[in-house]
Amino acid sequence: MIQFILKGIVRDKNRSLLPIIIVALGVTLTVFLSGYLGGVFQDVIQQNARFETGHVKIMSKAYAQNKDQLPIDLALLETDKLKDELQAEYPNMRWVQRIKFGGLLDVPDDDGNSRSQGPAAVMAVSLLSENSQELDRLNIRNSIIKGTIPTKNGEVLISNDFADKLEIDIGDEITYVGGTMYGSMAFQNYTISGTVKFGNIGFDRGAVIMDISDAQQILNMENGATEILGFFNNEQYQSESAEDIVKNFNAQYEKSGDEFAPEMQSLEDQNGLGEILAYSNYMSQIIVTVLILAMSVVLWNTGLLGGLRRYKEYGIRLALGESKGSIYRKSIIEAILIGAIGSIIGTLFGLIATYYMQEVGLDISDLLNQSSMIMPSTIRAKIIPSQLYIGFIPGLVAMVLGNMLSGMGIYKRETAHLFKELEV
């Protein structure tokens, strides 16, 4: 019977072509939006984790309450010991120290006078250590525009946009002007070894990257750091595991009244990322639900129009003795087959569109010029496993639901009036 119905669908394009096109368009939109939003949310989460939050972050309690001001006087001390303890207690994570602080960059002219100045956001990471994974985690090697990665103390990287603004080049000297963690003034000369562009508008605007040992020296922060970040070994955020680690760690210092005691926060507790993750988890369900409702209404009307065109056909089949239930069931099977065909076609086109956006992306840098949020300047879709089946949900459900609603008219036909209707 299915083979017979399938032949009817193929041969009679008037009754199948429009529903297949509608289903294919809806499924294409579902599959593409699923991959597009999944890619965007994943990029935002990964960018924040790499540059700002880690999968978990440890700060002093006082620093955590004022972290937007980057209060280096509230930094953690004896971090080497704390890092070793963390590695022993949580071996499924990698722990890194970072220092974030602000200051003024001064560019001298040939006579030693100030030629240009600009506020800088400095991030100190492990650049010179042989075992450091920060170069790969921050994708520094692939982000180099000019020059090279620092090879010795006293060399720094500067964002390419910031270098253009200050009119400096590779090999030029700059002077950092700021303060130490104890409040005294700090002045230090550095050499530009390279310029970088991370594709992150907020970070590229005025970033300087130096080795953490240089930062500890200039800030008088020996064996200290403003934060310790933890990353799972596979570099993928695991929500439940992160929450368990946070609860376990914070319980050790819960009763401590020391404002410099360490406090751990998960990625979801920072920068509103918890809401973003929750939103991303529900987006696919929202998209599917909306499209099911919209497509059902359209296909209901399409089914009603098809029912009018096939009014005589149904009458003949009833006159020949076929039951109303049999006609109704066969129309549902026909709807399933049409929905499956449309879903396959729509999934294929949706994956093609997703792949294109994954490779090419959409440049939104002009929209982020005034943004301080950490997010990529080029948003990309991402092909994910759920795209292989998510389109079949609205494709099949909407088609079947539409046909069920429109097919109810079959039960309103009166057998006694059939011959009179067929004579017309």
Per-residue pLDDT of the chain (424 residues; tens, 9 = 90+): 666 666 666 666 666 788 888 888 888 988 898 888 888 888 888 888 888 889 999 999 999 888 888 889 999 999 999 999 999 999 999 999 999 999 999 998 877 788 889 999 999 999 888 788 888 888 888 889 999 999 999 999 999 989 999 989 999 999 999 999 988 999 999 999 999 988 777 777 888 999 999 999 999 999 899 999 999 988 888 888 999 999 999 998 888 778 889 999 999 888 788 887 777 777 767 877 787 777 777 766 766 666 556 666 666 777 777 777 777 788 888 888 888 898 999 999 999 999 998 888 777 666 655 555 556 667 788 888 888 888 888 888 878 887 777 667 666 666 555 555 555 5
The answer on 197 and 140 residing in a single domain is yes
Q: Which amino acid is at 42?
A: Q
Residue where a domain terminates, one of 173, 207, 236? 236
pLDDT value at residue 349: 94
Q: Which residues contact 255 (CB under 8 A, 6 or more apart)?
A: none
The C-alpha atoms of residue 381 and residue 38 are separated, in whole angstroms, by 7
Q: Is residue 267 part of a domain?
A: no
Please answer whether residues 123 and 100 qualify as being in contact, where contact means their C-beta atoms are separated by less than 8 angstroms: yes
The answer on 69 and 42 residing in a single domain is no
Q: Which residues contact 142 (CB under 8 A, 6 or more apart)?
A: none
pLDDT value at residue 413: 61
The answer on 194 and 302 residing in a single domain is no
The answer on 87 and 31 residing in a single domain is no
Neighbours of 242 (CB within 10 A): 22
Q: Is residue 268 part of a domain?
A: no
pLDDT value at residue 157: 94
The answer on 99 and 9 residing in a single domain is no
Whole-model pTM: value is 0.74
**Exposure b/e, 346-384, CB count within 10 A at least 16 = b:** bbebbbebbeebeeebeeeeeebeeeeebbbbebbbbbb
Work out how many domains the chain is built from and give that number: 2
The answer on 332 and 305 residing in a single domain is yes
Q: Is residue 253 part of a domain?
A: no
The answer on 227 and 354 residing in a single domain is no
pLDDT value at residue 392: 86
Please answer whether residues 304 and 406 qualify as being in contact, where contact means their C-beta atoms are separated by less than 8 angstroms: yes
Q: Is residue 256 part of a domain?
A: no
Cα atoms in the Cβ-side hemisphere of radius 13 Å centred on 309: 11
Q: Is residue 338 part of a domain?
A: yes
pLDDT value at residue 208: 93
Beta pairing class for 173-179 and 114-125: unpaired
Q: Is residue 319 part of a domain?
A: yes
The answer on 319 and 196 residing in a single domain is no
The answer on 12 and 146 residing in a single domain is no
The answer on 154 and 7 residing in a single domain is no
Of 67, 62, 140, nearest to 100 by C-alpha is: 67
Q: Is residue 414 part of a domain?
A: yes
Q: Is residue 37 part of a domain?
A: yes
Of 49, 46, 44, 22, nearest to 283 by C-alpha is: 44
The answer on 314 and 225 residing in a single domain is no
The answer on 225 and 90 residing in a single domain is yes
Domain limits at 363?
2-47+275-423
